[in-house]
Amino acid sequence: MDARSELGEFLTSRRARITPDQVGLPVYDAGKRRVPGLRRQEVATLAGLSIDYYTQLERGKAAGVSEAVLDAIARALQLDEAERSHLEDLHRGIATRPARPRPRRATTIRPMLRRLLDALTVPGMIGNARQDLVAANTLGHAFYAPLYPDPQRPDPTVPVNFARFCFLDPKAPEFYPDWEFMADVAVNNLRTAAGRDPYDRGISDLVGELSTRSEEFRVRWAKHNVRLHRTGIKRFHHPVVGDLEVGYETIPLPADPGLQLTVYSPEPASPSADALVLLASWTATHLTDAATGTVDERR
């Protein structure tokens, strides 16, 4: 991915969604407008820039652009926090372009993080910017069982990937009752990560693979939407315990750049809380049977 073209396409996509009346501009030639949103001239006017200067920005020529100019463009295009951060990331990527693509990130974790995961009593997992599920505790593995070919013996050298599962695995729409929302989340998070590091080879390879194999992914990727993945509520339909609605918190790990810890927790005394207790019990029984070689004929 090229940071210059990414910047231009992002700015174009943002002005295309805003109409002149939304920003208080008069429209005298509504029937002759050839663009769905704002024209470059209108964005430049709102930002206090010359049309030539703003046009150069949309062409990716952003080296040396000041923070004040970025602020003015962000206000003119009514960017939210995630979009403003993405604009800054794209600008930074142009200014600090490396000599060659960066290698793929590590897909293992430190022993301390492993102990932290195992100490959690709720589903916990560590992922990277590419959306690989790098590590999970026992309940986390059980929670995301549909992502693993064999939940009891996942191959540690080939981490599962949330985006790949969402768009390429036929089990995804059943596991995600809100599949459209989860698909948007996967793409928007990946787009955000690509903006932070447009020369990450692992991200570029994944985007290329999904763009080739999934029309649903291609359509969403072309929208240039971004988001900050921090906290919220998600719904799942687990093959063992059924429907789950859980809150999540995602926490960056500063000592391990690119990695983040995510934990899931349901409302106390809710059906989802009872379902997680059942899943923990099922997991413990399943692991015991696997360790002793016992076969439960009821399964």
Question: Is the distance from CB of 263 to CB of 122 less than 8 angstroms?
Answer: yes
Instruction: Tell me how far CA of residue 43 lies from CA of 30, 68, 140, in angstroms.
Output: 17, 15, 47
Pick the CATH number of 111-292 from 1.10.357.10, 3.30.450.180, 3.30.450.40, 3.90.1720.10: 3.30.450.180
Q: What is the pLDDT of residues 168-189, one digit of tens each?
A: 999 999 999 999 999 999 999 9
Ranges of each domain in the chain: 3-95, 111-292
Q: Which residues contact 195 (CB under 8 A, 6 or more apart)?
A: 6, 10, 86, 89, 90, 93, 226
pLDDT higher for 100 or 277?
277
Weakest mean pLDDT among 148-152, 272-276, 289-293: 289-293
Q: Is there a shared CATH topology between the 3-95 domain and the 111-292 domain?
A: no
pTM: 0.87
Considering the chain, what is the average pLDDT of its residues? 88
Q: Tell me what the mean pLDDT of segment 203-226 comes to.
A: 96
Homologous superfamily of domain range 3-95? lambda repressor-like DNA-binding domains (1.10.260.40)
Q: What is the pLDDT of residues 21-71, one digit of tens each?
A: 888 887 766 556 777 789 999 999 999 999 999 999 999 888 889 999 999
Cα separation, 124 vs 134, whole angstroms: 11
